[in-house]
A and B are shown apart, each in its own frame.
Chain A
Amino acid sequence: MDTMRDRFIATTSRLLDEEPRTALVLAEISAAGFEQAQRRHPDRVINVGIREQLLIGAGGGIALSGMRPIMHTFASFLVERPFEQVKLDFGHQNTGGVLVSAGASYDWPAGGFTHMSPGDVALLDTLDGWTVHVPGHPDEAETLLRHAVTGDGRVYVRLSQQSNAEARPVTGDRFLTLREGGGPAVVAVGPMLDNVLAATEGLDVSVLYATTVRPFDRETVRAAAGGRGDVVIVEPYLEGTSTTAANDALADVPHRVLGLGVGRRELRRYGTIDEHLAAHGLDPASLRARISAFAGQGALDAHRRS
């Protein structure tokens, strides 16, 4: 199967053919993949070199000129390093654009902490008006990229090496209800879905699948949380990133929220993605234990109830 980044290159190359108002801005990363597109559209495929402030600033200027910029590099260099450019060169200018990252929280664990960006979505949460897509499969990435590029707003698309085995239908706004149960509503974000499904096998929980996390689908979460008001969020970036959004969704009813994700502490470990998932308690066995403990032992045993 191709990766989300492969699909990004293929999809964006087609979008450049189809949509004359799109322009792609790169800072070396993935530039080789866009060589053909650059030959076809030399003025709309722009590699500024290893200059991430300019990557965002030039994208902002392209938006001011009336075009739709797509800016791409690793998440740590797209959102974290030029964060003030993201804040001022789009939001403050009241313009739109599409940020597409690769690398996620630890797609390249052997590369170490400099190439890890667990805080990207939390950072964007400090700004107004950013839609955040976290696809869990290359097919979903393609759908959400098209949705983002053909729109007008400010959109972040977070791509990852991590992927679920199969694609689900995604709409670019609502969460998808995959299982309904009497216990907590477990929200699995993007690539976390397969581990969440494995972790909650046989448990009496609801499972929601979120690929568009901002805006946060309050209505679906409220409906799934039911009378208990228990929500678990499993997200592939900084632990607790969506806890505030879930609390806000349930502000007028008694509720509890468990936020699971990537820990804040720097592990200083290399290795593999699976080893990092386990270290952050995001492997199926750890997730099952943490979700069960939150719900109360026995309360989730669907077999005992039936």
Chain B
Amino acid sequence: MTNTALSSVSADVHSDVSGGLPSASRPGSSPGFRDLGRLMALMTGDEKHGPAATSTLDALWVLYDRVLRVTPATADAPERDRFLLSKGHGPMAYYAVLAAKGFFPEEWLAGFGSYDSPLGHHPDRVLVPGVEIGSGSLGHGLPLAVGTALGLRAQGLTDPRVWVLIGDAELDEGSNHEAIAYAGPAGLEQLHTLVVDNASATHGWPGGIASRFEAAGWSAQAVDGRDHEALYAAFTAPHPGRPRAVVARVEPKNA
């Protein structure tokens, strides 16, 4: 009974969110945010997408559209910014953004998850242009991002920025806390962690997620994960000598 009640609430939330994703686009123009719903539908066969599938969508779009200095032409350049998707499940929004930005053809999207497709339900860096890591097992991206920042710094490449996206439930994995506790004192200014918080961690984060980073010496800020201007401001705020964490709050997964 409870389950049924929850499902119906959940369905309502799904409709609301998909309602915020217009599928229209002007013919001939390069794909924009308004095209992402259509691109995701090529993978899912449905224009409506639930909050879990779209929790990362706005933050990903703002990053790729306005913040990250990487294009299909510079996808292998040493000086590029790196974006590591650690929360590898539910990658439709990520694939849609990469396709919209031209890292691979839109035609790939329809094969999502099939044997001959490079696009799996978890991304593989070996198979997909623009994908920096293979992910799926939670808690690997942030330590890999720490190492990438260390490696860039050791090579004198202090300009490129390293971004990693994790989920609030993924933060349960202890490996993240090894990385957070190290990166602050190490002063890894090139390192940026985006936590997409859809309140899906079973035990929650009493005191807030940002406080975990701040206690370890990071610069941290929580913002509305659907507000593009707020996301952009948080993504581009200076944080000299410290790594940066941005917590993007979106609708609770199980509201």
| Chain A contact residues, CB within 8 Å of chain B | 23, 25, 43-44, 46, 48-49, 51, 53-54, 56-67, 69, 84-85, 88-89, 92-94
Q: Is the CB of A57 within 8 A of B154?
A: no
Report whether B143 and A53 are in contact in the complex, using a CB–CB cutoff of 8 Å: yes
CA distance A177 to B157 in the complex (A): 48
Q: Which of A43, A49, A69, A85 contacts B143 (CB 8 A)?
A: A85
16 further interface pairs, Cβ-Cβ under 8 Å (given A53-B143, A54-B182, A62-B148): A23-B150, A23-B151, A48-B178, A54-B179, A57-B143, A57-B178, A58-B143, A61-B143, A61-B144, A61-B151, A64-B132, A65-B148, A65-B151, A65-B155, A88-B140, A92-B124
Instruction: List the A side residues contacting B179 at CB < 8 Å.
Output: 54, 57-58
Residue B41 at the chain A interface, CB threshold 8 Å: no
Question: B147 interface residue, CB < 8 Å from A?
Answer: yes
B143 and A67: CB pair below 8 A?
Answer: no
Please determine whether B126 and A94 come into contact, CB atoms closer than 8 angstroms. Answer: yes
A66 neighbours in B (Cβ, 8 Å) = 78, 151, 155
| B149 lies within 8 A of chain A by Cβ | yes
A-B contact pairs, 28 of them (CB 8 A): A25-B147, A43-B150, A44-B154, A49-B182, A53-B139, A53-B174, A53-B175, A54-B146, A56-B143, A57-B143, A57-B147, A58-B147, A58-B150, A58-B182, A59-B147, A61-B143, A61-B147, A62-B151, A64-B82, A64-B132, A64-B144, A65-B147, A66-B151, A67-B151, A67-B154, A88-B137, A93-B126, A94-B125
B133 within 8 A of A: yes
- Closest chain A residue to B179, Cβ basis: A54
Q: Is residue B50 contacting chain A, with contact meaning CB distance below 8 A?
A: no
Could you tell me the distance in whole angstroms from the C-beta of A223 to the nearest C-beta in chain B?
Answer: 37
Residue B118 interfacial (CB < 8 Å) = no
Residues of B close to A89: CB separation below 8 A:
140, 143-144
Question: Bound state CA distance, A65 and B149, in angstroms?
Answer: 8
Question: Whole-angstrom distance from the CB of B100 to the nearest CB of chain A?
Answer: 25
Question: B145 near A: Cβ within 8 Å?
Answer: yes
Interface size grouping (class) on chain B: 20 to 34
The 10 A-B residue pairs with the shortest CB-CB distance, nearest first, are A61-B147, A57-B143, A65-B151, A58-B147, A51-B178, A62-B151, A61-B148, A54-B178, A43-B154, A53-B175
Which B residues are CB-close (under 8 A) to A57? 140, 142-144, 146-147, 175, 178-179
Q: Are A92 and B134 in contact (CB under 8 A)?
A: yes
- Interface status of B152 (Cβ within 8 A of chain A): yes
Residue B153, interface by CB 8 Å: yes
Chain B nearest CB, measured from A245 CB (Å): 27
Q: Which of B172-224 contact A (CB under 8 A)?
A: 174-175, 178-179, 181-182
Give the distance to chain B from A55, nearest Cβ to Cβ, in Å: 9
Closest residue on chain B to residue A60 by CB atoms: B144
- Return A237 CB to nearest CB of chain B, in Å: 27
- B83-101 vs A, CB cutoff 8 Å, 1 = contact: the mask equals 0000000000000000000
- Rounded to whole angstroms, the CA-CA distance of A57 and B182 in the bound complex is 12
Q: Which residues of B lie under 8 Å from residue A25 when comparing CB positions?
A: 147
> When A43-B154, A94-B125 are in contact, do A69 and B182 touch as well, CB less than 8 Å?
no
A63 to B132, CA, bound (A): 12
Which partner residue on chain A sits nearest B157 by CB separation? A65
CB-CB under 8 A from B152, the residues of chain A are: 65
Closest to A49 in B: B182
B157 surroundings in chain A (CB, below 8 A)? 65
Q: Distance in Å from the Cβ of B72 to the closest Cβ of chain A?
A: 19
